[in-house]
């Protein structure tokens, strides 16, 4: 089968012919990939940023946002059947460790992470397990929702965590209306009562944000102008700010856009959060990290997708054009999400 394989860091992957996966255990599930999302994390993987954390054995197949159709199941699998349309939670969790026992399967002590530390879904087939697969409503197709498996799930997870603090009369500020942020905006307008202000350096991205229900948009020119405009719109700063970029200075600007006792949710990454401790103490502000969401978060997100309340803005590429898609993402030519279809 075809697969997008990373052989060396800082070198573009290649499209190789490799053996098809095989069932190895009773909980295994093999999926015919219908679509694989392309994510900035894939760029960071190619750069080697994840090597110290995940230590993948090179070469391996990229792709951690995957959906498709069940091809084969292990002897113990009962929650899906051959032919079912499914989306995969990014992690194959064990169900037995303390984190799994309390529903925090994203922190499973024994998980694998297809596309990050083992073979992923930028291929014709993917090996996953029964705890990762979510059966989809018949109205949903893999190419339409694949990127919700990680980007959507991560964006939704942050909003879900903050939802209790975002009642009517509060202000949420979203930094970055791209692949992650445009999903976060939809989650905010669907499950919270907050007024939503979106900051981005792209007018095209801001136009998308307005079409998704953002109440206000701010074109990112220089930090001083952005801070002044956001503080004016929000009447003193965000109650909750979602930084869906996390690099190129957004992580440094974000604390300036908060009101006292506000919270900065860090979702995008690559930069460094630097806040003087006196500011944290005197203003009682919070910095909150966000990993990918839980299995239950993914089930909720798929429900919203089936109801038409969350949708992806995408550009579809055939699998053989994976390197073109990666180049487009790296150069900033993608608005929304890139989707690879075998």
The verdict on 17 and 139 lying in the same domain is yes
The verdict on 113 and 249 lying in the same domain is no
The whole-angstrom separation of Cα 329 and Cα 143 is: 18
The verdict on 159 and 259 lying in the same domain is yes
Are the CB atoms for 1 and 22 separated by under 8 Å? no
The verdict on 309 and 187 lying in the same domain is no
The verdict on 158 and 70 lying in the same domain is no
pLDDT band at 202 (very low <50, low <70, confident <90, very high): very high
- Mean pLDDT confidence for 25-30: 97
pLDDT band at 316 (very low <50, low <70, confident <90, very high): very high
What's 111's domain CATH number? Answer: 3.90.180.10
The verdict on 246 and 120 lying in the same domain is no
The verdict on 113 and 218 lying in the same domain is no
CA geometry: angle 21, 82, 151, nearest 5 deg: 70
What's 191's domain CATH number? Answer: 3.40.50.720
Q: Using the 8-state DSSP alphabet, how is residue 121 labeled?
A: S
The verdict on 140 and 233 lying in the same domain is no
The verdict on 142 and 164 lying in the same domain is no
The total domain count for the chain is 2
pLDDT at 298: 96
The verdict on 67 and 190 lying in the same domain is no
- Mean pLDDT confidence for 96-121: 95
Domain that holds residue 280: 153-289
pLDDT at 334: 82
The verdict on 121 and 197 lying in the same domain is no
Q: Provide, rounded to the nearest whole percent, the portion of the chain with pLDDT above 90.
A: 91
CA 65, chain centre distance (Å): 8
The pTM score is 0.91
pLDDT band at 260 (very low <50, low <70, confident <90, very high): very high
Rg (CA), the chain: 20
pLDDT band at 333 (very low <50, low <70, confident <90, very high): confident
For the chain, the average pLDDT equals 95
Task: Among 247, 274, 289, give the residue marking a domain's end.
Answer: 289
Residue 137: other Cβ atoms inside 10 A: 12
The verdict on 170 and 223 lying in the same domain is yes
């Amino acid at each position: 089968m075809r697969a997008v394989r990373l052989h060396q860091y800082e070198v573009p992957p290649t499209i190789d012919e490799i053996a098809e996966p095989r069932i190895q255990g009773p909980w295994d599930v093999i999926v015919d990939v219908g679509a694989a999302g392309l994510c900035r994390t894939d760029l960071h993987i190619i750069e080697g940023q994840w090597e110290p954390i995940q230590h993948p054995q090179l070469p391996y197949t990229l792709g951690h946002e995957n959906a498709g159709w069940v091809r084969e199941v292990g002897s113990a699998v009962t929650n899906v059947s051959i032919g079912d349309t499914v989306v995969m939670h990014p992690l194959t969790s064990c169900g037995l460790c303390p984190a799994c026992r309390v529903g925090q399967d994203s922190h499973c002590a024994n998980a694998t992470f297809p596309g990050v530390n083992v073979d992923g879904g930028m291929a014709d087939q993917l090996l996953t397990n029964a705890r990762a697969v979510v059966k989809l409503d018949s109205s949903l197709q893999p190419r339409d929702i694949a990127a919700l498996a990680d980007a959507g799930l991560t964006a939704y997870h942050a909003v879900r965590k903050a939802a209790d603090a975002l009642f009517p009369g509060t202000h949420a500020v979203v930094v970055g209306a791209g692949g992650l942020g445009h999903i976060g905006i939809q989650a905010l307008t669907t499950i919270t009562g907050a007024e939503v202000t979106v900051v981005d350096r792209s007018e095209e991205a801001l136009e998308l944000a307005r079409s998704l229900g953002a109440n206000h948009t701010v074109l990112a020119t220089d930090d001083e102008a952005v801070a002044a405009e956001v503080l004016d719109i929000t009447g003193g700063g965000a109650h909750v700010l979602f930084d869906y970029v996390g690099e190129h200075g957004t992580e440094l600007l974000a604390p300036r856009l908060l009101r006292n006792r506000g919270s900065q949710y860090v979702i995008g990454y690559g930069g460094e959060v630097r806040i003087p401790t006196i500011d944290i103490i005197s203003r009682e502000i919070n910095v909150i990290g966000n990993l990918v969401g839980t299995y239950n978060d993914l089930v909720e997100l798929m429900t919203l997708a089936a109801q038409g309340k969350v949708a992806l803005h995408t550009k579809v590429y055939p699998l053989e054009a994976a390197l073109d898609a990666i180049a487009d993402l790296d150069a900033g030519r993608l608005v929304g999400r890139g989707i690879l279809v075998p």
